[in-house]
Chains A and B, each alone.
Chain A
Amino acid sequence: MMDFRFNIIVEYAPFFLKGVLWTIGLSLIGILFGTILGLAIGLGKMVQNRLVRLPFDWYVHFFRGTPLFVQILLIHFGIMPMFTAQPNPLVSGAISLSLNAAAYIAEIFRAGIQSIDRGQMEAARSLGMTHVQAMRYIILPQAIKRMIPPLGNEFIVLIKDSSLAAIIAAPELMYWGRAMQGQYYRVWEPYLTVALIYLVLTLSLSKLLHRLERRYDA
């Protein structure tokens, strides 16, 4: 710690930059597809029919109940080779993150919708609105407001979890941290730098979400 070598950080700066772009990319893909898939699974979990609901329930059980680390390895070394001889670790990472986030987002979505008083749906239907209209104009606008804080939480977790893709050599931020450590046998320089960059990313996102929350409150 005494002889903190800034020069090797400067030397690695281009790699960290490239890495952070991939980290942001992985996170954005995870957020986008995780949300879309999560909405679909959340809806599936709200179906009355138990048999229809079952696969959606088990999707959530599996992806919430097993470590993302294990999921990444299964997908990269097990699932992806069924489709391509040379799986791209970035693709595997993006898929793992999306599938994993979807399970959590499905629950956030379901809880948000079910937290809205039943009377709201009844009032909307009693006015002749279809189920879809009632959802769109009455239930979702209220539910989304309540979903923003837990969704924000999930997105922050997702940014941090994208670091696990380093284990399959996806060249995101953490990968370059490990590469730097391997090259120089130094601990503090690579990992403190990496930690600081993650912190900047997560703080920026939480600031953004806070603003969104306040705007919805007005």
Chain B
Amino acid sequence: MIQVTNLKKSYGSLQVLKGIDVHIHEKEVVVVIGPSGSGKSTFLRCLNMLEDFDEGDIVVDGFYLKDPKTDLNKVREEVGMVFQRFNLFPHMTVLDNITLAPMKVRKWSKEKATEKAMQLLAKVGLQDKAHVYPDSLSGGQAQRVAIARALAMEPKVMLFDEPTSALDPEMVGEVLAVMKQLAKEGMTMVVVTHEMGFAREVGDRVLFMDGGVIVEEGTPQQIFDAPQHERTKSFLSKVL
């Protein structure tokens, strides 16, 4: 589904990604962990080209992102993204937030988009919030709407960029529950998170990043129970 080869990126003289190689399979849930500044968010944002990269290749669903002939908008239609700070559109109701892209990008009718949106709102437990504006939602509710908004495009892959980091602790659970459900349904997911419990329980594979490289990867059991590298051990000893 996603093939990343020798991905490198620098901000000026600071190299934040120093050659990432990873293959993400269909229906796989890959969780990326690591200290802040390790490049994991930048890596994730390269996957839908919100962040351009300097070297290497990323192939998403058959599209070479660096190929000038690739229509990035087409790629992004298939790659949903959930942000740390939700980024809901504050001037639109929850329902309009969800239906906008399916109507304008996928050219669905209003009826079809609304029906889909209401289904998704039911799925994330927020049917009653369809007609309110985002500023009246709690953080957990806003993030669930943001997930519904991304799912409305019926993407093949979902990217999560620290989706629970801006939430009050008591709201983390409701968002993780939605993500867990999504994983169970077979969605291909790449999740950057600090939630080790989620990584262990839901992840098919865990990537530990530090200093712009993938230091270690493996099943959650391998990474959490028998880490091989010193840096992995030291990181885990601080967060677990």
Contacts and interface: CB of A to CB of B under 8 A. Distances in A.
Nearest to A128: B77
B73 interface: yes
Contacts of B106: 128
A164 B106 CA distance: 53
Interface in A92-149: 117, 119-120, 122-130, 133, 137-138, 141-142, 145
Given A117-B87, A119-B83, A120-B87, A126 B73 contact: no
Interface in B138-197: 146, 149-150, 153
Given A130-B73, A133-B105, A123 B87 contact: yes
24 contacts: A117-B87, A119-B85, A122-B50, A123-B81, A123-B87, A123-B89, A124-B89, A125-B73, A125-B76, A126-B79, A126-B80, A127-B105, A128-B73, A128-B74, A128-B76, A128-B77, A128-B101, A128-B106, A129-B73, A129-B101, A130-B73, A133-B104, A137-B100, A138-B89
B89 A127 contact: no
Nearest to B106: A128
B89 A126 contact: no
B125 interface: no
Interface residues on A, range: 10 to 19
Contacts of A123: 81, 83, 87-89, 146
A145 B101 CA distance: 22
B138 to A, nearest CB: 18
B118 to A, nearest CB: 18
Contacts of A133: 104-105
A20 to B, nearest CB: 38
B48 interface: yes
Contacts of B87: 117, 119-120, 122-123
Closest 4 CB pairs of A and B: A128-B77, A123-B87, A127-B101, A119-B87
B91 to A, nearest CB: 5
Interface centre among A123, A128, A133 (most CB of B within 10 A): A128
Given A133-B104, A133-B105, A138-B89, A126 B50 contact: yes
Interface in B87-114: 87-91, 100-101, 104-106
Contacts of A145: 91
A138 B150 CA distance: 16
Contacts, number: 59
Interface string B55-98: 00000000000000000011011011101010111110000000
Nearest to A216: B91
Nearest to A119: B87
A117 B83 CA distance: 13
Nearest to A138: B89
Given A122-B81, A128-B74, 18 more contacts: A117-B87, A119-B83, A122-B50, A122-B83, A122-B87, A123-B87, A123-B89, A123-B146, A125-B76, A126-B150, A127-B100, A127-B101, A128-B106, A128-B153, A129-B73, A129-B104, A142-B91, A145-B91
Contact of A126 (B74, B81, B90, B100): B81
A141 B91 CA distance: 8
B50 A125 contact: yes
Contacts of A117: 87
A126 B76 contact: yes
Contacts of A119: 83, 85, 87
Contacts of B150: 126-127
B144 to A, nearest CB: 15
A125 B77 CA distance: 9
Contacts of A137: 100, 104
B162 to A, nearest CB: 13
B131 to A, nearest CB: 15
Residue of B83, B104, B146 most packed against chain A (CB within 10 A): B104
B110 to A, nearest CB: 14
A127 B50 contact: no
A141 B100 CA distance: 14
Nearest to A122: B50
Contacts of A124: 89, 101
Contacts of A120: 87, 89
A123 B89 CA distance: 9
